[in-house]
Amino acid sequence: MQRFGLFGFMLALLLATVACAPVQDVARDGIAASKGALVTAQSKYRDQCTANPAMKPCRIIHEGVAAQHLAVEALDLYCQGVATPSFLDGGKCSPDKSVEPRLKAALQNLDVMIRDVKGLIQ
């Protein structure tokens, strides 16, 4: 129960931070967090997916990676990522607000896919 209390506190803190954070920061942090889940799942299922990539866990991982790539591309587009380094690599973000709905949609899709991936590694 104490663990849930700490988790609840951390979730509330994250939500409060997200409400005040620029969308590009939320996106960057979400993409970074998704990488950890994807790498863990890929390591856990490497042998099975090498033998049979059509297995359900392998398809879920593949969809998670695709969603992550889409979110990265949307963030680059939003931040007008032609600059070097890109925003994900520590460069400046020059937001294109017309792209914000696409970025938010990509993040929502990533969230759904990563929940499925996390289900594989728990």
Cα–Cα dist 83/96, whole Å: 14
Give residue-wise pLDDT tens across range 43-75.
Answer: 999 999 999 999 999 999 999 999 999 999 999
- To the question of pTM greater than 0.85 for the whole model, the response is no
Give residue-wise pLDDT tens across range 10-31.
Answer: 545 455 555 578 999 999 999 9
6 or 64, higher pLDDT = 64
Which residue blocks in the chain are alpha helix, DSSP H? 2-20, 23-51, 56-78, 100-121
| 87 part of a folded domain | yes
- Amino acid identity of residue 25, one-letter, is D
| 16 part of a folded domain | no
**pLDDT number for residue 4:** 45
How many independent structural domains does the chain possess?
1
Torsion on CA atoms 86, 116, 13, 16, rounded to nearest 10:
70
| 45 part of a folded domain | yes
Q: Is the peptide bond preceding residue 101 cis, with omega within 30 degrees of 0? A: no
Cα–Cα dist 46/85, whole Å: 32
Q: Domain of 67?
A: 22-121
